[in-house]
């Protein structure tokens, strides 16, 4: 499972796999717990290769050692939050901004080169825990989420709409109850992400 800090959440280095908090303290660990408890006979190995601060550029740079060299059967990707966030929290540092065209091209390239080597891919949208769609960062995040959906359709991957999953909860909850900065979720927020992932792979409940 590849991604940024939302995937990382303190996972073990160099490989995020093992006992205790080796899988981190977020949605990856929750997905693993669900799979191990529901399908123990399948002996599913979940590996967390998230890295805090990553954009899709960083994923591209480490794709071979952190994904392809591990010979996974399935790969899950959730990236894009930092690609958007850097445009808002570091507006003058344009060199660290990953604009939509680069984001789409890079993510599509990673999917295309990986798809023939695995049984399947799961693409998860980036999100912003904000109900106001006119909020500038929320609007930008929706644009990147639409790119993920477009790539998922083009390559026939599984697709998890994490923004939609949060909206369902936000209809009754204030954003700060899920994430103090509307980005890094608490355990309840990570459960929302885990639920979106499980829905995408057909294992709800």
pLDDT tens-digit readout, 172-201 = 999 999 999 999 999 999 999 999 999 999
Residue range 11-23: average pLDDT?
95
Q: What is the pLDDT of residue 201?
A: 96
Calpha distance 1→17 (Å, rounded): 11
Q: Grade residue 1 by pLDDT with cuts at 50, 70 and 90.
A: very high
Do residues 107 and 58 touch, judged by C-beta distance below 8 A? no
Percent of the chain with pLDDT over 90: 98
Calpha distance 85→141 (Å, rounded): 9
- Residues annotated as part of the active site: 5, 181, 184
The tokens of 91 are what?
Answer: 């507006």
Mean pLDDT for all residues in the chain: 96
The tokens of 54 are what?
Answer: 């990553």
Calpha distance 64→93 (Å, rounded): 28
Fold of 52-200: Rossmann fold (3.40.50)
Q: Grade residue 20 by pLDDT with cuts at 50, 70 and 90.
A: confident
Say if strands 120-124 and 74-78 run parallel, antiparallel, or are unpaired. Answer: parallel
SS3 30: helix
């Amino acid at each position: 499972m590849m991604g940024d800090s939302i995937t990382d959440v303190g996972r073990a280095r160099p490989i995020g796999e093992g006992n205790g908090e080796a899988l981190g303290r977020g949605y990856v660990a929750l997905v693993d717990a669900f799979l191990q408890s529901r399908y123990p006979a399948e002996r599913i190995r979940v590996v967390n290769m998230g890295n805090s601060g990553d954009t899709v550029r960083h994923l591209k740079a480490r794709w071979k050692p952190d994904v392809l060299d591990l010979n996974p059967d399935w790969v899950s990707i959730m990236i894009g939050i930092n690609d958007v966030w850097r445009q808002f929290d570091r507006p003058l540092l344009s060199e660290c901004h990953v604009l939509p065209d680069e984001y789409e091209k890079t993510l599509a390239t990673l999917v295309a080169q990986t798809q023939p080597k695995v049984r399947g891919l799961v693409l998860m949208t980036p999100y912003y825990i904000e109900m106001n769609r006119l909020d500038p960062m929320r609007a930008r995040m929706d644009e990147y989420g639409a790119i993920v959906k477009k790539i998922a359709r083009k390559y026939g991957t599984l697709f998890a709409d994490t923004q939609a999953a949060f909206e369902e909860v936000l209809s009754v909850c204030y954003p700060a109850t899920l994430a103090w900065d509307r980005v890094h979720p608490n355990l309840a927020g990570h459960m929302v992400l885990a639920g979106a992932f499980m829905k995408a792979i057909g294992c709800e409940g």
